[in-house]
Amino acid sequence: MSGGPLVTLDQLADGGFGETEATVDGDTESIVIYRDGDRVRAWMNVCPHAGRRLDWAPGQFLKSREGLLVCAAHGASFELQGGECVGGPCRGESLRPVAVEIRDGAVWLA
Ligand code: FES
């Protein structure tokens, strides 16, 4: 994808996730975007455990009752500030962050 926003804010529920593809360092990558009120954070949609996607179907992410993002493959759970794995097989590792910003009601690569 080139030039456009990753996703518009109204496509993201507050506290919810979105998924899109974008060109990062020259490669097309799947990205998970998390909305937290007026802020968004984004990471590569790649689990540090075994390199699988985090979603169970494109754009469908699991969130635990504790508010953690749960990898659909083997259940690693990630906190949503820094993307650190706080439970499961890759505890202590982190998702790879993607720098994004909000502009004109949409999320863009920063
Ligand atoms: S690939 Fe995510 S927990 Fe194994």
User: What's the pLDDT tens digit per position in 71-107?
Assistant: 999 999 999 999 999 999 999 999 999 999 999 999 9
Asked whether 54 and 45 are in contact (CB, 8 A), the reply is yes
Q: What is the pLDDT of residues 36-81, one digit of tens each?
A: 999 999 999 999 999 999 999 999 999 999 999 999 999 999 999 9
> What Rg value do the Cα atoms of the chain yield, rounded?
13
Q: Where are the domains of the chain?
A: 7-109
Homologous superfamily of 7-109 in CATH?
Answer: Rieske [2Fe-2S] iron-sulphur domain (2.102.10.10)
Mutate to test the pocket of ligand 1, among 32, 52, 69, 70 (most ligand atoms within 8 A of CB): 52
| Cα distance between residue 55 and residue 60, in whole Å | 5
Q: Residue 43 C-alpha to ligand 1 middle, in angstroms? A: 15
Whole-structure pTM value? 0.94
Atom of ligand 1 nearest to the CA of 72: 2
Mutate to test the pocket of ligand 1, among 43, 45, 71, 77 (most ligand atoms within 8 A of CB): 71
